[in-house]
Amino acid sequence: MALRDELLKSIWYAFTALDVDKSGKVSKSQLKVTDNFDLQDFNKMCWTLSSRKNLERSQLLISNDDAFKIWCIFNFLSEDRYPLIIVTEEIEYFLRKLTEAMGGSWVEERFEDYKLKLSSNQQCLNAWELISLVGSGHFSKGMDRQTLSMAISEVYQELILDVLKQGYMMKKGHKRKNWTERWFMLKPSCISYYVGEDLAEKKGDILLDGNCGVEPLQDKDGKKCLFLIRSSQKSFEISASDKKKKQEWIQAVQTCVNLLRQGRPAPHREARQKRRDLRLKQQAEQEELELRMRELQTANEAKQLELENMRKALEEAAANAAEEEKRRLQTQTELQDRYRMDLEREKMVRQQMEEQVAQKSTELEQYLQRVRELEDMYHQLEDALEDERHARQDEEAVRKLQARLLEEEAMKRAELEQIHLRQQLAISETEAEKQELERERLAKESALQAAMQQLEQLEQERQGALEQYQTVMKKLEDATNNTKTWKHKVAQHEGLLRLIQPGSKGQQRITNWGPAAFSDAELSLREKQWQEMKNQAAQAP
């Protein structure tokens, strides 16, 4: 179950990084399934996906590998709820371990000042904030980067790789019985030993279970600080560097054996679970206390509200009594004032009635005058309506005429637009023909220029050929003169020698030593003689 929770945390980071549009879904093409599963490689893959998007490396004093180890430690110490966070208690635990690994002393005041900087509602950090906190060097002042990196690796090996103890010791061989220095690494279920602390070459494992035992040995063979580890398969004799190291290793191995017998996890994992259980318990107690406080506060508010209502009721009753007394006195005063005002109103009403009668008579005269004026206005209105009817008829005729004129104008405008379109089309065609003619003119000019260039080149070639012809004619003339001179000389010596006439040159034979020194006829004659000699040799007794 613990492995599942750790895998879910890494997977959550990977899916969050792949979920670009934050829709809660990831495409299958973004996922990769592997057959060979390795937890560290898996964490490395999830770290690569998420760190590119969330980690700002420019201000960090640590390497990418150290940041990855802090990310794994964060996943180990974070709460089992999403989005993942680490509370201040686990931050203090991690920073204490880191400070101890660097060989420094823990400064409580510095961490308290840092806690005050955090928001009161956010007493926690996410993974990238924790990496920035460690990478900024706020809690590692005075330490170089190598010391900080070694401390991060040591805490990573303890919390993530479950390395409870490691160091160099001498081990006695089982076959040759020689002592060899090895790097030992103690985990809850085994002790692995390597050639060096770089873990490049692993030499073997000592498997631990509930039946294993560890016991000190007396010094022998010139070796001191000896102890024996008995496993179910064989026993191992080991020599520590000093008594303190010997005792530490014996206690560490015995602790692992006891944990295996009791079926308990590694101490740091058990401590983490205890801290979580304690936080959950404290959180439950805090919630229960807050619930009781809310209930008490609700009851107190109800009591306060009841007292306030009673006070308001008493004040309201007193106010009502005073208001009733005031209303009674006011009513009595109002009745006296009303009686006096009624008398005055009756006198005023009598005077108003008389004034109204006189006013009504005047209004009646005015009304009759207005009736007569309205009759005159009625006759004038009838005359105006008759004039308006005639005007409307004239207006209708004029509107029809305007409509006909507008229709004719629209037809004319349509004809003009068609004429304009034909003109535009003719202009476009003319422009296209003009451009085509221009292109043809340019092409002909180009062809003419090319022909002129060819003509000039031919003229130059003709001049060259003419010069060559003249040179050849001159040579021919010289050769003719020479021939005539030689023929004359031959004619003079005709009885002494015979002219050798040029004849057809036969095909030349090629031998292994080069061109042959005889012709085809000579070759045939020699073949014939050789055949006769062969026949004579065969006929001789």
CB 275 within 8 A of CB 89: yes
Measured CA to CA in angstroms, residue 257 lies from 212, 229, 236, 237, 281 at distances of: 7, 11, 15, 17, 30
What is the rounded average pLDDT of the residues 290-311? 90
Average of per-residue pLDDT values in the chain: 82
Radius of gyration of the chain (CA): 63
Measuring CA to CA, which residue among 71, 75, 60 is closest to residue 138?
60
pLDDT for 156 equals 87
**Terminus-to-terminus CA distance in the chain, angstroms?**
119
Residue 125 backbone phi and psi in degrees, to 5: -135, 155
Lowest model confidence (mean pLDDT) among 69-73, 219-223, 480-484: 480-484
CB 127 within 8 A of CB 134: no
Measuring CA to CA, which residue among 175, 180, 176, 183 is closest to residue 201?
183
Burial label, 317 (beta-carbon count in 10 A; 0-12, 13-18, 19+): exposed
pLDDT for 106 equals 82
pLDDT for 1 equals 42
Structure tokens at 119: 């928001």
Cα 368 to chain centroid, rounded = 95
- Band of residue 515 on the pLDDT scale cut at 50, 70, 90: low
pLDDT for 490 equals 56
> Is pLDDT of 87 > 80?
yes
- Give per-residue pLDDT as tens, 163-191: 888 999 999 888 888 889 999 999 888 99
What is the rounded average pLDDT of the residues 145-157? 87
> Is pLDDT of 2 > 70?
no
Structure tokens at 238: 């080991």
pLDDT for 498 equals 46
3-class state of residue 184 by DSSP: strand
* 83: preceding bond cis by omega (within 30 degrees): yes
- DSSP class of residue 179? E
Cβ atoms within 10 Å, residue 66 = 22
- Band of residue 507 on the pLDDT scale cut at 50, 70, 90: low
pLDDT for 159 equals 84
> Is pLDDT of 496 > 50?
no
- Give per-residue pLDDT as tens, 96-127: 888 888 888 887 888 888 877 776 556 788 88
> Is pLDDT of 28 > 50?
no
- Band of residue 492 on the pLDDT scale cut at 50, 70, 90: low
> Is pLDDT of 35 > 90?
no
- Band of residue 516 on the pLDDT scale cut at 50, 70, 90: low
Tokens 């109002």 found at: 334
> Is pLDDT of 250 > 80?
yes
- DSSP class of residue 400? H
Structure tokens at 385: 């309506």
DSSP string, 261-327: HHT---HHHHHHHHHHHHHHHHHHHHHHHHHHHHHHHHHHHHHHHHHHHHHHHHHHHHHHHHHHHHH
Alpha-carbon torsion, ordered 310, 315, 321, 326, to 10 deg? -160
- Band of residue 414 on the pLDDT scale cut at 50, 70, 90: confident
- Band of residue 267 on the pLDDT scale cut at 50, 70, 90: confident
Q: What is the pTM of this model?
A: 0.51
